[in-house]
Structures are given as C-alpha cells and as structure tokens.
Amino acid sequence: MPAEALHTSAADVPDDAPAIETTGLTKRFGERTAVQGVDLLVPRGSAFGFLGPNGAGKTTTIRMLLGLTGASAGEMRVLGHPVPAERGIALERVGAVVENPNFHPYLSGVENLRIVAAVRGPEAAGRIASALARVGLSERADDKVKNYSQGMRQRLGVARCLLADPLLLILDEPTNGLDPGGIQEFREMIRAMVEQEGRTVFLSSHLLDEVEKICDVAAIVDRGRIITQGPIAELAEGGARHELIVGVDDAEQALSVLHASQLVREASRSDEGIRVILSGDASGAAEINAALVRAGVGVARLEPVRHSLEQRFLEITSRLDAPPPDAPASEPHEQVRT
Amino acid sequence: MTAIALRMTGADLLKLRKKRGTLIWVLVLALLPVVVLFAVKAIQHSSNPVKYEAAGGTGGFTDGLRLLCLFFGPLAAILVGVEAGTGDASAGVFRDLVVTGRSRLALFASRVPAALGVCWAVMISGYVLVLLGTFAFASNLPTPDTALVLNGFAFTLLSTGVVCVVAVGFASLTTSKPAAITALIGWQLVASPLIANISSLGSGRDAVLSQAIAHFSPVHVGGGRGETVIMAQGTGLLVIVAWLAVFLALGAWRTRTMDA
C-alpha cells in the first residue's frame, strides 16, 4: 500500500474519511457572494483538480478549508475532522500553499523551513533536509530567499508543505511562475506523491491543461458554484454524451439508416465523416456498425470522439454565459461519480 | 513553557536576530547615545576639569541611565516590539503559519518572549556601557553602590521591557509596521510629555505609561522623584499592568480573529 510511507496516526485521521468534504459551503463579502453552496467530495489518494476561471471562488474556498477565513454558511470536514471546530487536528497532516508562497526574504530557505518546523512540531525539523532534497533545493538551501526565482519559491513552498508529512496537499495555482521544464518536473512530482506515496493533492488552477495532465478527479467551479465534479474522463465526456465519427462509402444511405435508428440522437455530415451523437452509452456503436453493414453501406472508419476537458469546460462556461433560461434560480449541478 | 512554545519562541528569535536593518537601528539607538554621552563629557572634562566634572561617577550613571531607560532605550524597544508584532504579517508568512493548524494565540504568544529576549540583550549591553562609563571615567567622584547598580539594572529591564511588550501588542493590532512605529514613537516622544505637562488634566495624567515607568527610576531623572507626574507606587504599578494587559489582549484578539 503506497500510504505505508506516511506516518498516519490512526487516532487522528479516520482511514475511510474523504480528504475533503463540504456541504453547502458559502462565503459572502457584504452583498457579494463569492462561494455559494459548494458541495465538494475529494477522495483520498487522488489528485483532485479544482478548476475554474480567475475569480471563480477557488482561493476563497481554499481559505475557508484552511481556517484562514470563516465560512458564512455550510459545513466542512478535512481528513474527517470538522473545520473550524477541530481545525488544529485536521491541519496537522495538511500542507498548503495559498496564492503565492511567501517567505521571510532576509532568511535563507532552510531558515524559513526551520520557522515552520518549529510551529509544526518536533518531527517536522527532522524532515527539512529531505523536503529540500525532494524539491531539488538542497544546494541553494543556505541562500537567502530574496535571491530565489519565482520557481524556486514555488518549490520551497512545496518543501514547506512536506514538513507536515502531509496526507493532503492543498496547492493554489502551484505552477505560476514556473518555466516549461519546471512545470513538467512539478507534474511528475505531484503524480509521484499521489501514486507512490499515497498522498492526496487538491490542486486549484485556471489552467485546463494542467488539471487534465495532473489530476484524476476534478471539479469545475464558476462564479462561486460547483458546476460539475467527477473523474476527468467522465467530465470530459460530459456525463451522458457519446459521439462517433463514421467514415462510409455512401453518406446519403448511411444518414438515412442512422436517422432511422433509435440508438442515434443526431447524425450530420462533418469534415471528418458523419458525426453521430448516440442516444445511449458507447455500447451502441457496435449495433450502429451492424445496421450500416446490413443496409449495404461500407464502413471504413468508426471512431469514438474523445472529448478534452477543455472542450467540456468551454461548453460549460458558454452555457453559463448564455442568457438564463426560464428555469429555477439554481445553477445546473451535475454530480458525476467520484 | 512547553517544548513547542520554546521552539516557537526560538523561531521568532531567529527572525528578529536576522532582521539586520532593524537590529542595526536598535543597536544604534540603544548604544550610540550612551557612547556619545560619555565621550562628550570626557572631552569636556579633559578640556576644562574645573568647569566640568568627570564623565563617570554617580552623575554620569544618572545621565546614562536616563538616556538609556527613558529616552533612546524605549525607542529601540519600540522597533523590536513592532518588528516582532508585524514581521509575519508584513512578509505574508502569517497565513502559512496559520495553516499549520497551530493556535493563533500560540503564534501571538511566542512573539512576546522573543521580542523581550532581543530587546533585553541589547539593553543589557547598553547598561554595561553605562557602567563602564560610570566607573572608567569616575576619577575622584563617588560611584554607585551595588544596590544602585542592581536597581539600575532592574529599571533598565522594566522601562524597556514594558514598552517592548506594549509595542508587540499594538503592532499585532495594527499589523502595519509604519503605522505602528509612527504611532508609538509619536506617543512616546510627543504626546506623552505633552500630556504629562498639562496640569489641568490632574490625576488623569497618571495613565501616561512613561510617567508610571519613571516613577520606578532609582535615580533622580527630573523634578521631584524623577517624573513629571507624582503618583503613588501602587498607582504606577497598576498603570503599567493595565497597559500591558490592554495591549496584549488587543494584539491577541486581532491575531486570533483577522483574515490571514
């Protein structure tokens, strides 16, 4: 079990508890509602992407989870402990970088870590060297932080998280300021933390590509609401929509067959062939192929369309930007299996 | 003090020790005036021994103690206290300490002994300089006895320690270094003497911290017992305790409740 690498205190962290669980989490600043009724479920041992445009309420949600600011309504549990009631216990095994990682610039990297280790507890001081090595800063550990690049500060921020030997890492826009090589290294480090060490990573980002490449599960947030959440693949598929590209020798004949089939919701020509949206799940593809062959249509290609999270995200945000339909005031809230 | 509190205080000490800009100013404020005082008095005495008595002795001790405890020492103490009270917030690090789950009150509490540690280390150096000047330049003048030396030492710790702790509380309340320094130095140098000299305020002037502190001076530092406002010893003690309690409570409250 990968989590064996962690010094889990069974008494403090229930094994079956989700890493993060919120119900109806709301934050208001005067008249403005920054976060509204957020229900989050972050499974343990996953890389969870918290995806949304700037100003969507991602950082405010994180700040509430960490007890940096109070919630106006709702409930939160971090590693099974209610926050803020048991905030101290809940955060013992949580490492977090919120917005930009800040340090005392006149102190060296290792001195900054010593300060946090002193606050964390006696075991944390023993992890300083390994944390610095993990993020590749051992050789620059004695340099003053004011001489660090933004990328080095980001890495030092992660090292600071590792002092807690965290079961849960909360990283807010962690690749800000990293060059492409640094981003790649960072992705690999996060994946290793999840896959080899059994840690949970909650990663907030406005970068679709970043979330898609790092995370297993994600929630899309916009204007303070969770629009949808679930495994990345299911989010990209949009939950219920399955599409095919069909290459045939007789498009007219094929279209008439497809329009007559109850398995097909929509069929139309496209540059790549005939684009088919299935009524049901992906298993209908085989029956459609058989129906076309029975009708004498030669099928040269039948390929499921793989949606990217980016397409899905744009669909969602386009829908939100559209004038509101005559629907109840609440936003659509899809709950995909997590 | 628990082990974790000791480690946190050590961390706060590290932050203050390494803040060279502030530390240099603290050293300059605490030590340089004492050096200048004895140097000037020694030069005057050597140039005209009839007109100017020796730089040291009880007179030199009195002047040095006044300078250290009632004027420049408190200013240095303010700088240390404000740095301790605002350092984490102004560097943006307070948030990162809060997310460790450690109690915010514990974070606040560790600032106080650390600030006192730095402040007193500097002030003790200043007091040693006063004693050096007092005895080295005494010539044939009487020198302070052991009791006065010990009382002077205690007064050095009291006068600067109280101001330093008040500064930690006030700076934690404002979370702004420039605002806290301006307000506290303005209060110490301008408002306090001004209020103390408005006799129409009567016993209301007892509440001025510098007057209450001066009441415990072991040497004559002005009119009467050394303070502008005459008050009972118990009143002086009460005023000092009230200042400490109010500003520690305000600083702790702000640290506990502010958005990080």
* pLDDT tens digits for range A129-175: 999 999 999 999 999 999 998 889 989 999 999 999 999 999 998 88
Which residues lie closer than 8 Å to A297 by C-beta, 6 or more apart? A248, A249, A250, A253, A254, A257
CA distance A220 to A35: 13
- How long, in residues, is chain B? 260
Q: Is A202 helix (H, G, I), strand (E, B) or coil?
A: strand
Question: Would A57 be classed as within a structural domain?
Answer: yes
The answer to whether residues A246 and A155 belong to one domain is no
C-beta atoms of B96 and A101 within 8 A: yes
Domain end (from A236, A255, A289): A236
| Residue type for position B16 | L
Which phi and psi angles does B190 have, rounded to 5°? Answer: -110, -60
Q: Which residue has the tokens 């002193």?
A: A118
pLDDT confidence of A319, banded at 50, 70, 90? low
Question: Would A85 be classed as within a structural domain?
Answer: yes
> Residue A268 maps to which CATH number?
3.30.70.100
Enter the tokens of residue A139. 């050789």
Of B7, B20, B91, the CB nearest to A103: B91
C-beta atoms of A88 and B103 within 8 A: yes
| Residue in chain B lying closest to A160 (CA) | B96
The answer to whether residues A230 and A172 belong to one domain is yes
pLDDT confidence of A306, banded at 50, 70, 90? low
| Residue in chain B lying closest to A121 (CA) | B4
Q: How do the domains of chain B map onto residue ranges? A: 3-186
Per-residue CA distances from A158 to A182, B143, B217 (Å): 13, 60, 52
Distant-in-sequence contacts of A234-241, Cβ < 8 A, 24+ apart: A234/A336, A234/A337, A235/A309, A235/A312, A235/A336, A236/A212, A236/A306, A236/A307, A236/A308, A236/A309, A236/A311, A236/A312, A237/A307, A237/A312, A238/A307, A238/A312, A238/A315, A239/A334, A239/A336, A241/A277, A241/A307
Whether residue B99 lies within 8 A of chain A, CB to CB, comes out as yes
Which phi and psi angles does A73 have, rounded to 5°? Answer: -160, 165
Whether the pLDDT of residue A5 is over 60: the answer is no
C-beta atoms of B99 and A92 within 8 A: no
The answer to whether residues A223 and A298 belong to one domain is no
The answer to whether residues A207 and A270 belong to one domain is no
Q: Which residue has the tokens 């040693």?
A: B128
Interface pTM, i.e. ipTM: 0.89
The answer to whether residues A182 and A129 belong to one domain is yes
Which residues lie closer than 8 Å to A266 by C-beta, 6 or more apart? A276, A277
**Average of per-residue pLDDT across A280-292:** 84
**Average of per-residue pLDDT across A181-208:** 90
Per-residue model confidence as pLDDT tens digits over B197-249: 888 888 888 899 998 999 899 987 664 444 566 778 889 999 999 999 999 99
C-beta atoms of A107 and B15 within 8 A: yes
**Average of per-residue pLDDT across A65-72:** 92
The answer to whether residues A82 and A221 belong to one domain is yes
Of A68, A89, A105, the CB nearest to B99: A68
Helix axes A180-195, A150-162, angle to 10 degrees: 10
Whether the pLDDT of residue A332 is over 50: the answer is no
Q: Which residues of chain A lie closer than 8 angstroms to B4, CB-CB?
A: 118, 121-122
The answer to whether residues A62 and A188 belong to one domain is yes
- How long, in residues, is chain A? 338
Domain enclosing residue A286, as ranges? 240-304
Which phi and psi angles does B253 have, rounded to 5°? Answer: -60, -45
Shortest Cα distance, chain B CAs vs residue A81, angstroms: 12
Which residues lie closer than 8 Å to A279 by C-beta, 6 or more apart? A262, A263, A264, A265
Per-residue model confidence as pLDDT tens digits over A12-44: 666 678 999 999 999 999 889 999 999 999 999
> What pLDDT score does A228 carry?
85
Residues A128/A117, Cβ–Cβ less than 8 Å: yes
C-beta atoms of A96 and B99 within 8 A: yes
**Average of per-residue pLDDT across A296-303:** 90
From the list A250, A246, A228, the residue with the least C-alpha distance to A303 is A246
Q: Is B249 helix (H, G, I), strand (E, B) or coil?
A: helix
The answer to whether residues A30 and A178 belong to one domain is yes
Q: Is residue B233 within a helix (H) or strand (E), and if so which, with residue range?
A: helix B233-257
Residues B16/B84, Cβ–Cβ less than 8 Å: yes
The answer to whether residues A45 and A166 belong to one domain is yes
The residues pairing with A47 across neighbouring beta strands, listed in sequence order, are A201
Residues B167/B180, Cβ–Cβ less than 8 Å: yes
CA distance A296 to A300: 13
Q: Which residue has the tokens 């549990």?
A: A77
Per CB distance under 8 Å, which residues of A are interface residues toward B?
Answer: 63, 66-69, 87-92, 94, 96, 98, 100-107, 111-112, 114-116, 118-122, 160, 164
Residues A135/A152, Cβ–Cβ less than 8 Å: no
Looking at every residue in chain A, the average pLDDT score rounds to 84
pLDDT confidence of A239, banded at 50, 70, 90? low
The answer to whether residues A30 and A95 belong to one domain is yes
C-beta atoms of A114 and B107 within 8 A: no
CA distance A72 to A213: 34
Taking 50 as the pLDDT cut, the residues of chain B under it are 223-226
Residue B53, Cβ density class (10 Å: 0-12 exposed, 13-18 middle, ≥19 buried) = middle
The two most distant CA atoms of chain A are separated, in Å, by 78
Domain end (from A236, A256, A280): A236
Shortest Cα distance, chain B CAs vs residue A76, angstroms: 15
C-beta atoms of B8 and A114 within 8 A: no
Q: Which residues of chain B lie closer than 8 angstroms to A166, CB-CB?
A: none
C-beta atoms of B259 and A122 within 8 A: no
From the list A227, A192, A233, the residue with the least C-alpha distance to A47 is A192
Q: Which residues of chain A lie closer than 8 angstroms to B95, CB-CB?
A: 68, 98, 102
Q: Which residues of chain B lie closer than 8 angstroms to A102, CB-CB?
A: 91-93, 95-96
| Residue in chain A lying closest to B110 (CA) | A119
Domain count, chain A: 2
Whether the pLDDT of residue A307 is over 80: the answer is no
The answer to whether residues A272 and A198 belong to one domain is no
Q: Which residues of chain B lie closer than 8 angstroms to A119, CB-CB?
A: 7-8, 11, 97, 100, 102, 107
Per-residue model confidence as pLDDT tens digits over A95-119: 999 988 999 999 999 999 999 999 9
Of A66, A111, A122, the CB nearest to B99: A66
Q: Which residues of chain B lie closer than 8 angstroms to A122, CB-CB?
A: 3-4, 7
User: Which residue would you say has higher pLDDT here, A52 or B153?
Assistant: B153
> Residue A145 maps to which CATH number?
3.40.50.300
Question: Would A68 be classed as within a structural domain?
Answer: yes
User: Which residue would you say has higher pLDDT here, B200 or A9?
Assistant: B200
From the list A280, A277, A281, the residue with the least C-alpha distance to A268 is A277
The answer to whether residues A221 and A266 belong to one domain is no
